Amino acid sequence: MSVSESRITIDVDGAPISGIYGRPDKPFATLALAHGAGAGMEHPFLGGLARALNDDGVATLRFNFPYREAGKRFPDRPPAAIAAWRAVMEVAASRSEGEPLWAAGKSFGGRMASMAVAEGMPAAGLVYLGYPLHPPGKPEKLRDEHLYGLTMPMLFLQGTRDTFATPELLEGVASRIGPTATIEWWDGGDHSFNRVGVKKSAADVGASLAAPVSAFLRGNG
């Protein structure tokens, strides 16, 4: 039986953003889930992932960043995105029953989660769904400095064809972070986790990522 979802409103410094909350009976973890730069919380990829996680015992809270809520295309600057992350995690914590509270995000959303944690936001750990380590074709412009001060478990779920993270560079970053960083390669996957020759809907692709994410949360709870 599918877990029912409820729509909620989250206050970010006086401005509302939308969220979708799903909570199974007695979840073993809660995962706050942010969208990437080009799509909001309604994207089928995030919906498919969230619902599959709900079915496996993970409560989820996906949400829109302020720019998306306002109908803008250009992503928020880090201070605004971090403020949104803090508000979302506070709401997620208020709805929990003491289970571990994780932060996760697709690309931009995951990077902003890591920056929020680097600035003191509490989280049991981080899950990156395609971490944007560098702009495509510009491996010299790494976005990694803040990662080295993080000590909680981190899962980098990354496609081997993702142009936002050259495999050797991401391996090097994870090695420098230390044993708390884990990379799980999605063989043949691009930045959207699509594989050549494999036709799946965005919802099914998102749902297929639930198993490794859930396993990581269980193993580090």
Closest CA to 92 of 156, 150, 8, 154: 8
pLDDT tens for residues 23-77?
A: 999 999 999 999 999 999 999 999 999 999 999 999 999 999 999 999 999 999 9
Domains of the chain with CATH codes: 5-219 (3.40.50.1820)
Within 8 A by CB and 6+ apart from 168, the residues are none
Alpha carbon separation from 129 to 10, 12, 44, 70, 176 (Å, rounded): 23, 24, 15, 24, 20
Q: Is the pLDDT of residue 1 over 80?
A: no
Q: How many CB atoms lie within 10 A of CB 202?
A: 18
